């Protein structure tokens, strides 16, 4: 599996560590950013989702301070289903119920009183990647409805 990854400056350090950990098992395309220098998250979110749209990568990982800005931008692209992950359970549900092909991680928010580490993000990534999309009719129907909304609203 090929995974595209990017972050803004707030996610740079954890992105680099996470990409390094994942590169032992997956082919990783790192779209930057490559320093702590302030940059704009829409530019980096776009690089990852375009790579998925082109079929170059199958999944995408985006990191910013809250995960939210990246998530808004990624969902503005057809065929992209992105969600913010903040626990083992949300990592699983993103794949099982939302059929998410992009996962967005917060980097500067404490979860349950703990700082986010690369190890935590690696664990969530593995849960998300190893959980299949649900086969239940109701979940498939809802994803179909998202496709209809996209047909209606996108060029």
Partner 1 sequence: MKIAIGSDHSGYKLKEVIKKFLQDNMYEVIDFGCYSEEAVDWPDIALLIAEAVKNKFADFGILIDGFGGAVALAANKVKNIRAVCCYNIVSARLARQHDDANILCLGAKTVGELENIEIVKTFLSTDALSEPRYVNRLKKLQDIENKYFK
**Residues annotated catalytic, as ranges:** 64, 97
* Calpha distance 92→50 (Å, rounded): 24
Please count the residues of this chain forming the interface with partner 1, following the rule CB under 8 A: 45
Q: Cis check for the bond before 118: say yes or no (omega within 30 of 0).
A: no
Q: Which of 28, 70, 68, 65 is nearest to 46 (CA)?
A: 70
Q: Which is nearer to partner 1, 123 or 142 (CB)?
A: 142
How far apart are CB 53 and partner 1 at their closest, in Å? Answer: 10
Which uninterrupted H or E stretch holds 90?
helix 88-96
Q: Does 98 bind partner 1 (CB under 8 A)?
A: yes
* Calpha distance 40→6 (Å, rounded): 12
* Calpha distance 45→6 (Å, rounded): 7
Q: Which is nearer to partner 1, 10 or 19 (CB)?
A: 10
In the list 61, 82, 118, 127, the residue contacting partner 1 (rule: CB under 8 A) is 82
Q: Which class for 101: exposed (0-12), middle (13-18), buried (19 or more C-beta within 10 A)? A: buried
Q: Does 146 bind partner 1 (CB under 8 A)?
A: yes
Residue 138, C-beta contacts closer than 8 angstroms, at least 6 positions apart: none
In the list 12, 26, 86, 124, the residue contacting partner 1 (rule: CB under 8 A) is 86
* Calpha distance 106→133 (Å, rounded): 23
Q: Does 126 bind partner 1 (CB under 8 A)?
A: no
Q: Which is nearer to partner 1, 24 or 149 (CB)?
A: 149
How far apart are CB 120 and partner 1 at their closest, in Å? Answer: 14
Q: Does 154 bind partner 1 (CB under 8 A)?
A: yes
Binding site for partner 1 (CB under 8 A): 38, 40-43, 46, 65-66, 68-69, 71-73, 75-78, 81-84, 86-87, 89-90, 93-94, 97-98, 100, 106, 109-111, 138, 141-142, 145-146, 149-150, 152-155
């Amino acid at each position: 599996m090929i995974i595209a990854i990017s972050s803004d400056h707030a996610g740079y350090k954890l992105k680099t560590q996470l990409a390094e950990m994942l590169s032992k098992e997956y082919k990783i395309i790192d779209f930057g950013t490559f320093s702590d220098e302030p940059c704009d998250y829409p530019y980096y979110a776009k690089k990852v989702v375009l790579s998925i749209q082109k079929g170059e990568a199958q999944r995408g990982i985006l990191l910013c301070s809250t995960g939210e800005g990246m998530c808004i931008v990624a969902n503005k692209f057809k065929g992209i289903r992105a969600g913010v992950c903040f626990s083992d359970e949300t990592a699983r549900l993103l794949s099982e119920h939302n059929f998410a092909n992009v996962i967005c991680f917060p980097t500067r928010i404490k979860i349950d009183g703990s700082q986010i580490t690369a190890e935590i993000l690696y664990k969530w990534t593995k849960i998300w990647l190893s959980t299949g999309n649900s086969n239940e009719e109701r979940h498939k129907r809802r994803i179909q409805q998202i496709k209809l909304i996209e047909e209606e609203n996108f060029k």
